[in-house]
Structure 1
Amino acid sequence: MCGFAGFIDFSNNTDRQASLSRMLDTIGHRGPDDRGVAIDSERGVFLGHQRLAIIDPENGRQPMSVVDNSVSVVFNGVIYNYLELRRELLAKGHPIKSYSDTEVLLYAYIEWGENCVARFIGMFAFAIWDKNKNKVFCARDRIGIKPFYYAIHQNTFVFGSEIKSILASGYVDRRANTAGLKDYITFQFCLDDKTMFEGVSKLEPGQAVTVDLSNRQLSVHRTQYWDLQYEIDTSHDESWFVDHLSGLVEDSVRMHLRSDVPLGAHLSGGLDSSAVVCLASELLVGEKVSTFTGAFRDGPQYDETAYAKKVSSFCGTEYNEVYIPGSELSTTLPNLMYYMDEPVAGPGSIPQYYVSKLAADKVKVVLGGQGGDELFIGYARYLVAYLEQCLSGAIYETAHTQPYAVTLESIVPNLPLLKTYKPMLQNLWGDGLFESADKRYFKLIDRSSSVTHLFNDDLLSSNYQPFESFQKIFNRDGLHSLINSMTYFDLKGSLPALLHVEDRTSMAASIESRVPLLDHRIVEFMARIPPNIKFANGRMKHLFKESVRNMVPKEIFERKDKMGFPTPLNNWARGVANDFVKDILLSPQARQRGVYDVRSVEKAINNEQEFGRAVWGMLCMELWHRIHIDQDTSVLNIRS
């Protein structure tokens, strides 16, 4: 786990090495163990790397090159099947000397070229300078666990693990991207390759970019080397799918335990993280896993430590916990926004930040259960959407004519799950009942209706419409069913936003976070399962529950009150952090920015619902403007 930065610049500018140094300075937290550079000034290629030493600490320095320096790489992430690939590459005659996954990646590229990405099981982002072919090849992992950002300015290509490094290069101006702002207001994340910064793009999950340097004129070509396919497997029954999923999850956790430094796990007390901890504890025979849990003292709905302790006792882990105080919001949130680079989805990033810092005191690698809700159908909104479809099918007598349809009578036993989601149901059914599936799901995830009055009309008047970007993803050919359309959008949209938080909160603490449930083999397997089996009777996480039934404590398996990671942000905003919230959102800078309707903002601060996101979104956006656009570091308590 590391950070990298670099650029291609043919200008012979004497400031190029200083630019690379500035870029690396901004991401030093990602890799405090070592810094390295590789420079081919004649060709205009500058590569830099900050290392967090995890695999083969002694021999994994980067940038790494082959003996004649014809191929060099900077790499962030882990290739979990590096031992298997190492044996294969050695058998083909490649002179691999270390046990570093970076060296395996390097020789995998030499052996298989750009197709090497198809061989990797892992999370990765990398840039390879191939001097003989006069090109730079860059790629991001299939699920988007590791980040890759880039900008093209005139005849210069700038890239890095974090946007702040690109901004530090001096090649890109700091300007807000209106389309990105509209996406954030709508979803609390940006779709497609957009970022919140004009001129800065991201490689999307499963994408690669090749930069040709021929004739000292850049030619940039981006490709989608992987996307999820829904080729439904009708040849097996539910019990086979359960058994196979169980085996895949176990094998993924086994691979994710490969580390040459101390390793632990996040533990929330929910099914996903509990399953990962239980499997890790079973596989690490004779070793005691350290687990890390966060909570709040603001009421029982914000404290799940009782469940986490049950899992810890069941597995025999070394239990560690931290309670997050609202009184520290004024120092924590600005720092968090600095590390995030962009406003983020949900205040759950606050406890993740604290838990990462807690873990960093004892380990350098942590496993977690991230991705389980999107992959195994764990969000209540999926059931809400299916309830409406089932009502329509019952009324119009069409339920039994549609492939993979869930019927109203079949989901009734699971409807009590929705008793705490009355506001969601009221909002969805307030208008537009039985419209097209894309419009109905968009309404479930669209956050703009409750916040548009907080912004000046000029910001929202651009021609870009987030719904159109949403439609292209949701209505992709070959999805077969509503549940696949919903989860596919979330895998392409909301999950990368959550992984953005996972990456930045762990890297801010200089630890490596691994997410074994998002092994691409598991993701591909879930896509092949018939929808009426994986979402049988509308039961949340049906197959996953059955696959881990005998691995986790009974109390965890039977839980029905898991709510994610609720954060009492709005309680703080009205109480212990009220002065801070007002100082930020009603400040002269906010008033003069021309983005907000300040009177409406003031009302929102005092009237936000307990789990509403309006105040959170406004705080993130204003702090983002203040820190990353205005370059006002007065609100920070870290070295910028």
Structure 2
Amino acid sequence: MCGIAGIINYDTSNSVSKQILESVTHAVAHRGPDGFGFWMHNNIGFGHRRLSIIDLKSGNQPLQIEDNKLCITYNGEIYNYLELKYQLIKVGYQFKTNSDTEVILVAYQHWGEAVVNHLRGMFSFAVADIEKQQIFIARDHFGIKPLVYYQGSDYFMFGSEIQQFKEHPHFKKEINVSALAEYFKYAYIPAPLSIYNDLYKLEPGNYLIINFKGKIIEKKVYYDVQFKPIYSVSYNDWVESVTQALDTSVAYHKIADVAYGTFLSGGIDSSLIASSLAEQGNKVEAFTMGFANKNINEVPYAEQVAKMYHLNHHIEFIDMTDMQSIFPKLIKHFGEPFADSSAIPTYFITKKIREYLPVVLSGDGGDEAFGGYYSYQNFLKILNPSAPNQAYKNYLKTALKLVGKTYQSTPRQPNLTDWINLVSIFNEAQSQRLFLHEVFNNIDTEANSYAKWYQKGQEQKLDIYSLASYLDYKTYIHGDILTKVDIAAMMNSLEVRTPFIDVEMVNLMAQIPTKFKISRNFNGTWEKKKILNTIAAKRFGIDFIKRKKQGFTVPLADWFNHNSAPGKEFEMIIQNKNSLIFNYLNQNELKKQFSDKNQVDYNKLYLLFTLEKWLENQ
């Protein structure tokens, strides 16, 4: 895992400043503490910070081949690079290193832009092609690795993190109020928007082609999740296919020339990853984060898995003092407002892991793939709140007919507004009341990040659950989950790998009918993640899965209660007319929302607290 940077001055006679290139590259030194390098070609410059994982001796970047006609700066890991290397050697190519970096560059030489269709892994990279006079920039299928770019008045720039761009003297820090409105809904800013005007996140499964004058000449989608269920396969066969695919994905994700371990939250997904590693003959280092509040603590379940599979188990507990100490640092590294509070424990657990090893596997992605979130069942309830189970509905109709009554049902199709209301912190109406009129009038309502993906999902004619899952793949999983993990882990120079968020795993998931992922029982209860639960029951016992899903929950109510230091600080923010949030928000409306100390929405509180602290430090 690494940090990358690139600058293209629009004026081809204006050479890139080495000082500026070094500054924007070293701004992400934490992403690559093992080395750095630069490449300059007239008005173009690439920078790189390296975290050595594969080919520790000869994998330095930027890397050039073909008589220096091709140059790459790259962040990520390609898990099938040895297979691709063998394939390319068979057709006559030669290699000077053992790195996956060189494989990407030679693969680009062979396949051109189609190189991305051959890669299994996580990546963001840029290739300068001297002969074609263009730069090819690509981001992986699901956005595991970040890629941000800026279209300035006199230069184009790309990088791994937003904070890099502030190191360029011509960068303009102009707030994008449409992006701010998105933040109020989701607690993060979905791609392609960022908090700043003219600064964009390259969407997952996309690539750009830029000429040497810094103009984007092509932006293309090369991958999208395609839900095409196969109904002829039995449930048990799907369970077997998923088991094999997960074990294979774990095997790919452990390819490294350094030590690795795994997150172990105590939940189903990370427990399956840990058990797969152990069953493959590895002595596994497993890491768990805990809180003093037992109501949100899954440590006992993690201990159960660790004991069963003989894992070397490490447990780290955090409290409010830890939160206060790291919060300013998190604000800086995210580069824009980001209010997923689980970034705090993610930072601390990754810091602990880095004391032992530089690579760790994660269970992220299981909920999106197999129907684990409560938002999915709540979205399905809208379709038919009384009884989505057809067999039960037919039984009820017959029973009512016998006593001379009629079954009343008013199902309707859930729509985009329903989904946004389910996943929003502040809904549309609340946001409209909260923003100052002059700010709200400048918000581009067409900038809704979910709208185009909702339309794409409808074009695929997806069922209700698959549509919700698709929306999460196109927004939440990379905008929130993967951003959180990437930034928090790379602050500690730790590489995180995600076997569930893998192109082969996701393509398999998209073939499985919804009824095998999530369904409602006769008694009205819901079964979520059915296939993963079946696998987990075989490995850990039935009692392990018969519990309420917790997720990586943070005790915000404990940390921000009105008697705590952070709680008192928030009260001072909303009472002070000079607080920076009131350049955008109506103070009286905000006071109203937090007037009852016994009815505080702590997710809203944390979103506002984060925004104020970001504005103070941006």
Q: TM-score when scaled to structure 1?
A: 0.87
Alignment: residue pair count = 590
The one-letter amino acid paired with 1:577 is P
* Equivalent in the alignment of 1:425: none
* Equivalent in the alignment of 1:578: 567
Shift of 1:179: 0.8
Q: Pick closer, same or farther for the CA change 1:162–1:586 going to 2, 3 Å.
A: farther
Structure 1 distance, partners of 2:17, 2:572, is 40
- 1:392-431 paired onto structure 2 within 5 Å: 406-407=389-390, 409=392
Structure 1 distance, partners of 2:508, 2:120, is 14
* Equivalent in the alignment of 1:511: 494
Q: Secondary structure at the match of 1:197?
A: coil
Structure 1 distance, partners of 2:595, 2:328, is 18
Does residue 485 of structure 1 match 2:467? yes
* Equivalent in the alignment of 1:567: 554
Q: 1:445 aligns with which of 423, 432, 454?
A: 423
Q: Pick closer, same or farther for the CA change 1:121–1:345 going to 2, 3 Å.
A: farther
Shift of 1:171: 3.3
Q: 1:546 aligns with which of 534, 537, 544?
A: 534
Q: 1:502 aligns with which of 485, 488, 491?
A: 485
- 1:227-246 paired onto structure 2 within 5 Å: 227-246=224-243
Contact 1:4 1:161 in 2 (8 A): yes
* Equivalent in the alignment of 1:195: 194
Shift of 1:38: 0.7
Shift of 1:576: 4.3
Shift of 1:14: 6.5
- 1:446-485 paired onto structure 2 within 5 Å: 446-449=424-427, 453-465=433-445, 468-476=448-456, 477-485=459-467
* Equivalent in the alignment of 1:307: 301
Q: Secondary structure at the match of 2:416?
A: helix
Structure 1 distance, partners of 2:95, 2:259, is 25
Contact 2:28 2:164 in 1 (8 A): yes
Shift of 1:439: 2.7
The one-letter amino acid paired with 1:63 is P
Structure 1 distance, partners of 2:171, 2:290, is 40
Shift of 1:170: 2.5
Deviations 1:216-268 (A, max 9, x none): 47343211011111223233222222211111111100000111111111111
Q: Pick closer, same or farther for the CA change 1:170–1:380 going to 2, 3 Å.
A: same
Shift of 1:374: 1.2
Shift of 1:194: 0.8
Using the aligned pairs only, state the percent identity.
Answer: 28
* Equivalent in the alignment of 2:402: none
Q: 1:293 aligns with which of 285, 288, 292?
A: 288
* Equivalent in the alignment of 2:399: none
* Equivalent in the alignment of 2:8: 8
Does residue 247 of structure 1 match 2:244? yes
* Equivalent in the alignment of 2:350: 356
Structure 1 window deviating more from structure 2 (75-84 vs 341-350): it is 341-350
Does residue 268 of structure 1 match 2:265? yes
Deviations 1:390-415 (A, max 9, x none): 236x6xxxx7xxxxxx5383899xxx
Q: Secondary structure at the match of 2:37?
A: strand
Structure 2 distance, partners of 1:101, 1:226, is 21
* Equivalent in the alignment of 1:20: 21
Contact 2:382 2:413 in 1 (8 A): no
Deviations 1:122-180 (A, max 9, x none): 00000001111111000000011100010112352210011111221223201111110
* Equivalent in the alignment of 1:46: 45
Does residue 258 of structure 1 match 2:255? yes
Does residue 137 of structure 1 match 2:136? yes
Q: Pick closer, same or farther for the CA change 1:552–1:279 going to 2, 3 Å.
A: farther
Does residue 613 of structure 1 match 2:603? yes
Structure 2 distance, partners of 1:532, 1:196, is 39
* Equivalent in the alignment of 1:55: 54
Runs of 5+ unmatched residues, structure 1: 400-405, 413-431, 629-640
Contact 1:121 1:520 in 2 (8 A): yes
Contact 1:314 1:553 in 2 (8 A): no
The one-letter amino acid paired with 1:3 is G
Structure 1 window deviating more from structure 2 (585-594 vs 44-53): it is 585-594
Shift of 1:83: 1.2
Q: Secondary structure at the match of 2:488?
A: helix
- 1:338-377 paired onto structure 2 within 5 Å: 338-377=332-371
Deviations 1:494-530 (A, max 9, x none): 1112100010011001110111111111111111222
Contact 2:518 2:527 in 1 (8 A): yes
Q: Secondary structure at the match of 1:517?
A: coil
Q: Pick closer, same or farther for the CA change 1:516–1:585 going to 2, 3 Å.
A: farther
Q: Pick closer, same or farther for the CA change 1:408–1:594 going to 2, 3 Å.
A: farther
Does residue 535 of structure 1 match 2:515? no
Q: Pick closer, same or farther for the CA change 1:579–1:316 going to 2, 3 Å.
A: same
Contact 2:385 2:411 in 1 (8 A): no
Q: Pick closer, same or farther for the CA change 1:301–1:64 going to 2, 3 Å.
A: same
Q: TM-score when scaled to structure 2?
A: 0.90
Q: 1:386 aligns with which of 376, 380, 383?
A: 380
Structure 2 distance, partners of 1:626, 1:4, is 27
Q: Pick closer, same or farther for the CA change 1:146–1:217 going to 2, 3 Å.
A: closer
Structure 2 distance, partners of 1:198, 1:217, is 18
Structure 2 distance, partners of 1:606, 1:307, is 37
Structure 1 distance, partners of 2:52, 2:574, is 40
Structure 2 distance, partners of 1:608, 1:578, is 13
Q: 1:318 aligns with which of 303, 309, 312?
A: 312
Shift of 1:475: 3.3
Structure 1 window deviating more from structure 2 (577-586 vs 363-372): it is 577-586
Structure 2 distance, partners of 1:259, 1:62, is 18
Q: Secondary structure at the match of 1:483?
A: helix
Shift of 1:463: 4.7
Structure 1 distance, partners of 2:214, 2:54, is 37
Shift of 1:19: 1.1
Q: Secondary structure at the match of 1:448?
A: coil
The one-letter amino acid paired with 2:9 is D
Structure 2 distance, partners of 1:217, 1:531, is 45
Structure 1 window deviating more from structure 2 (166-175 vs 247-256): it is 166-175
Structure 2 distance, partners of 1:587, 1:13, is 47
Runs of 5+ unmatched residues, structure 2: 396-409, 521-525
Q: Pick closer, same or farther for the CA change 1:146–1:553 going to 2, 3 Å.
A: farther
The one-letter amino acid paired with 2:244 is G
The one-letter amino acid paired with 1:565 is F
Structure 1 distance, partners of 2:20, 2:73, is 17
The one-letter amino acid paired with 2:240 is D
Contact 2:95 2:102 in 1 (8 A): yes
Q: Pick closer, same or farther for the CA change 1:520–1:271 going to 2, 3 Å.
A: same
Structure 2 distance, partners of 1:517, 1:132, is 39
